[in-house]
């Protein structure tokens, strides 16, 4: 009987363990369900908030100007190359060995300054010899005049024809001619600046034999610029009109001048060459490629920045701002354009109306539709 009792006790213990295990599993299950439910609730709330944000009405910030009639700078654009008003290639007038170079590329020299010189040791000897011969002939001439009864070096009282005859007989005329010739040869040993300017393109080197052009001198205080204009636009250009010159890639640098010449022929491309004279602003250099802008003022026009005009339905429009906070598009026609602005007028083919004093939106208008809500950017 003892073994049977032990078996009942084991059964009761096993049942008790199973009961407690079941209770624990049920607790874990209900807790997990609670946590999942909370997370789903939070996610649902977040999704609802995101959906609400998607449907929030968009308010566009814009900038506006008041439309008014003002002068408009009508422009004609072209390209050209700057050429210094005065520019010369310099070479020695005689051959020889370069003994001295007194400048470098970029040096500024005054008119008459020595740029370089050749070795002139032999020329100095010839010049000294010619000078001695001239002095000797001069002594012979005055000695001959004294023999004729005239006072020494008194040339004013001598008959002109007689004086010329004495100069020839004494050899003075030949000696003086020879001296001037040698002196002129000596001067050719120096390369002199014909005008004030900057030195460029030095090709000769010290102790080399001269050959061809030694350097270039440039007076870059003013530049000529030739540019092409289509014959159909020629009526826009007149002598004396203002031009603006801007180097490519350096928009902040500009210089101003005037049209000086219009070539009266049309080339095979239907173009006319126009020449302008432009002052240097100390930032322009010879040979620089530039953009040329010819300007003429047209008074009393409705002018807006280019950013104010956008395209809708394949047509140009501007947006006006009204006090109700809405943007209204107005069909317009572009009458003329320059680098920054348009002359516009209402497109009457679309029954559009545009008045001086209207507030025109000039920024934030790329994605606007008619009657979009807008607010003015502070």
Residue 285 lies in a domain: yes
pLDDT per residue as tens digits for the range 94-145: 888 899 999 999 999 999 999 999 987 777 788 888 888 889 988 888 888 8
Residue (of 366, 375, 350, 369) closest to 309 by Cα position: 366
pLDDT of residue 22: 59
User: 25: pLDDT confidence band, cut at 50, 70 and 90?
Assistant: low
Residue 213 lies in a domain: no
pLDDT of residue 29: 54
Kindly report the pTM of this predicted structure.
0.58
CA distance 240 to 223: 16
Q: Retrieve residue 228's tokens.
A: 């092409």
* Same domain membership, residue 309 and residue 232: no
Residue 342, CA atoms < 13 Å, CB-side half-sphere? 19
* Same domain membership, residue 271 and residue 166: no
pLDDT per residue as tens digits for the range 60-84: 899 999 999 999 988 888 999 999 9
Q: Retrieve residue 96's tokens.
A: 């020889």
pLDDT per residue as tens digits for the range 39-57: 555 545 555 444 434 444 5
Residue 117 lies in a domain: yes
Concatenate the DSSP letters of all residues of 245-314 into one string.
Answer: EEETT-TT--EEEEEEEE-S---TTSEEEEEEEEE--SS--TT-EEEEEEEEEEEEEEEEEGGG-EEETT
Q: Retrieve residue 337's tokens.
A: 């354009």
CA distance 361 to 355: 14
- Taking the CB of residue 325, how many other CB atoms lie within 10 A of it? 12
Please state whether beta strands 60-66 and 372-376 pair in parallel, antiparallel, or not at all (unpaired). parallel
Residue 24 lies in a domain: no
pLDDT of residue 24: 55
Question: What is the side-by-side strand order in the sheet with 98-101?
Answer: 98-101, 114-118, 190-192
Mark which of 279, 298, 317 sits at the end of a domain: 298
- The CATH number given to whatever domain includes residue 284 is 2.40.30.170
Q: What value does the mean pLDDT of the chain take?
A: 84
36: pLDDT strictly greater than 90 = no
* Same domain membership, residue 313 and residue 287: no
* Same domain membership, residue 240 and residue 163: no
* Same domain membership, residue 342 and residue 309: yes
Residue 215 lies in a domain: no
The three-state (H, E, C) secondary structure of 109-123, written as one string: ECCCCEEEEECCHHH
What integer is the mean pLDDT of 363-373? Answer: 92
Per the model's pLDDT, the better-predicted residue between 158 and 77 turns out to be: 77
Residue 28 lies in a domain: no
8: pLDDT strictly greater than 70 = no
Mark which of 298, 320, 353 sits at the end of a domain: 298
Residue (of 225, 333, 205) closest to 273 by Cα position: 225
- The CATH number given to whatever domain includes residue 365 is 2.40.420.20
The separation between the first and the last C-alpha atoms of the chain, rounded to the nearest angstrom, is 101
pLDDT of residue 27: 57
Residue (of 298, 297, 312, 306) closest to 360 by Cα position: 306
Phi and psi, residue 186, nearest 5°: -65, -40
* Same domain membership, residue 321 and residue 227: no
What integer is the mean pLDDT of 203-208? Answer: 89
Residue 41, CA atoms < 13 Å, CB-side half-sphere? 6
* Same domain membership, residue 320 and residue 266: no
* Domain of 260, in residue numbers: 75-82+220-298
Mark which of 298, 318, 334 sits at the end of a domain: 298
What integer is the mean pLDDT of 278-283? Answer: 90
- Taking the CB of residue 173, how many other CB atoms lie within 10 A of it? 15
* Same domain membership, residue 194 and residue 93: yes
Calculate ∠ Cα 225-226-231, nearest 5°: 145
Number of domains, the chain: 3
Give yes or no for a contact between 341 and 296, defined as CB atoms under 8 angstroms apart: no
Residue 264 lies in a domain: yes
């Amino acid at each position: 009987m003892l073994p049977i009792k032990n078996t009942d006790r084991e059964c009761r213990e096993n049942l008790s363990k199973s009961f407690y295990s079941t209770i624990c599993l049920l607790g874990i299950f209900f807790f997990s369900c609670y946590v999942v439910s909370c997370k789903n609730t939070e996610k649902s709330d977040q999704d609802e908030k995101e959906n609400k944000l998607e449907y929030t009405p968009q308010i566009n910030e814009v900038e506006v100007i008041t439309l008014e009639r003002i002068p408009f700078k009508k422009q004609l654009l072209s390209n050209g190359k700057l050429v210094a008003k005065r520019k010369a290639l310099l070479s020695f007038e005689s051959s020889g060995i370069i003994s001295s170079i007194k400048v470098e590329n970029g040096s500024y020299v005054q008119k008459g300054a020595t740029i370089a010189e050749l070795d002139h040791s032999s020329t100095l000897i010839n010049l000294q010899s010619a000078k001695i011969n001239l002095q000797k002939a001069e002594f012979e001439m005055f000695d001959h005049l004294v023999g004729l009864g005239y006072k020494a070096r008194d040339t004013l009282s001598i008959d002109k024809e007689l004086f010329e005859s004495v100069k020839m007989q004494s050899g003075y005329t030949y000696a003086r001619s020879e001296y001037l010739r040698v002196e002129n040869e000596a001067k050719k040993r120096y390369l002199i600046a014909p005008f004030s300017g900057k030195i460029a393109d030095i090709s000769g080197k010290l102790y080399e034999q001269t050959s061809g052009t030694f350097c270039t001198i440039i007076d870059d205080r003013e530049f000529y610029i030739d540019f092409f204009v289509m014959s159909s636009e020629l009526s826009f250009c007149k002598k004396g009109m203002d031009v603006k010159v801007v180097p490519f890639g350096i928009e902040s640098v500009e210089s101003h001048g005037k049209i000086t010449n219009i070539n009266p022929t049309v080339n095979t491309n239907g173009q006319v060459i126009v020449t302008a004279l432009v002052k240097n602003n100390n930032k322009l250099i010879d040979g620089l490629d530039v953009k040329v802008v010819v300007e003429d003022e047209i008074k009393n026009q409705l002018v807006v920045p280019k950013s104010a005009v956008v395209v809708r339905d394949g047509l140009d429009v501007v947006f006006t701002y009204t006090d109700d906070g809405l943007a209204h598009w107005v069909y317009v026609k572009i009458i003329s354009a320059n680098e920054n602005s348009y002359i516009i007028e209402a497109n009457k083919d679309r029954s559009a109306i545009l008045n001086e004093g209207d507030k025109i939106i000039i920024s934030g208008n790329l994605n606007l539709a008619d009657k979009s809500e807008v607010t003015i950017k502070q």
